[in-house]
Amino acid sequence: MNIRVPSFRDIAKNFKVVFLDSYGVLKNHKGLIEGVPDTIKFLRDEGIELRVLTNDASRSQQQQADVFDRLGLKDLKVDEIITSGMLAKQFLTHKIREGKIAYLGTDSSAEYILQSGLDHIAVRDIDLDDLDDISAFVFLDDEGFDWNTDIDTTVNFLRRKTVPVIVANSDKYYPVNKNDVSVATGGLAKLCESMLNKKFIHFGKPDTQMFNYAFEHINQEEFKYNKDDILMVGDTLSTDILGGNKFGLKTMLVLSGNTRSDNAELWINSTGIIPDFICESILA
């Protein structure tokens, strides 16, 4: 495989749009990756459209943009950020028309996702003997509840009542520092699926729905871009590259996050997920 390239910018110049994963591409556990603002400026100067695609459902677009701003990436626009939470919200708007939506997560994540005119109720407030008015369940975030009690309540609610169950972020874990990870809401959802022997509705990469959302977004005013115009850049084979490939985009694996330089080819061969390009980072 001879797909290593020295410069992200040289490749990016051949595309009209770049989709970027957030964690491992733009930032890491220490904050913004040094040099990223220059690369973003380069893309702006070249007239290349960009979108950030993130499996983070815990924060709204505005909150995500605020975080980037605080970290030093000033000019990312709110609607250049696309989160898996937005897909969950879209689903709820189209499919759930009445009743309350129960959720596992923080109250603030509930507020931004569950604005569909429907009431919502935290798992800790569920009365297992009075479930009549609950019409859906959402795994929103790994914080905002007590793991010692609320996972059991979730499982028992779903044993008693069959409702649509949405997982707003299908990642099983997320990094918290250079070495360590924390169980993410997708991991909890998987535990509950395995106990209930059911499959929930998962949103987020590698599902192509997120790529399609971004694709429609860049073409919303007029149909300007087709798939061949877009480069997807990410640090994770099983989400960014698999999903980008399946949607028909050219893909670049960067080695500034989950995938290390010395085992990139090994992982590509053992998974069969093949990026079109491999590059150290988006800095050069």
Q: How far is CA 7 from CA 79, 81, 184, 242, in A?
A: 27, 24, 33, 22
Taken in order 11, 12, 14, 19, the sign of the CA dihedral is: positive
As measured in angstroms, the least distance from the Cβ of 21 to a copy of itself is 19
As measured in angstroms, the least distance from the Cβ of 282 to a copy of itself is 22
| Whole-number Å distance between alpha carbons of 186 and 142 | 9
Tokens at residue 260, please? 């290390």
Interface residue list for a copy of itself (CB under 8 A): 1, 90-91, 94-95, 128, 146-148, 151-152, 155-156, 158-160, 162-165, 172-173, 179-183, 187-188, 190-191, 194-201, 207-209, 212, 227-228, 242, 245-250, 268-274
Residue 185 has a CB neighbour count (10 Å cut-off) of: 27
As measured in angstroms, the least distance from the Cβ of 274 to a copy of itself is 6
Judged by CB, which is closer to a copy of itself: 28, or 90?
90
Judged by CB, which is closer to a copy of itself: 40, or 249?
249
As measured in angstroms, the least distance from the Cβ of 248 to a copy of itself is 4
As measured in angstroms, the least distance from the Cβ of 163 to a copy of itself is 7
Judged by CB, which is closer to a copy of itself: 28, or 42?
28
**27 backbone dihedrals φ, ψ, rounded to 5°:** -140, 165
Judged by CB, which is closer to a copy of itself: 71, or 196?
196
As measured in angstroms, the least distance from the Cβ of 254 to a copy of itself is 19
As measured in angstroms, the least distance from the Cβ of 40 to a copy of itself is 26
Judged by CB, which is closer to a copy of itself: 19, or 247?
247
Judged by CB, which is closer to a copy of itself: 32, or 99?
99
Judged by CB, which is closer to a copy of itself: 45, or 197?
197
In DSSP notation, 163-222 reads --EEES---SEEESSSS-EEE-HHHHHHHHHHHHT---EE-STTSHHHHHHHHHHHTSSS
Q: Which long-range contacts (CB under 8 A, 24 or more apart) does 95-101 make?
A: 95/136, 95/164, 96/135, 96/136, 96/164, 98/135, 99/133, 99/134, 99/135, 99/136, 100/133, 100/134, 100/135, 101/134, 101/135, 101/136, 101/137, 101/138
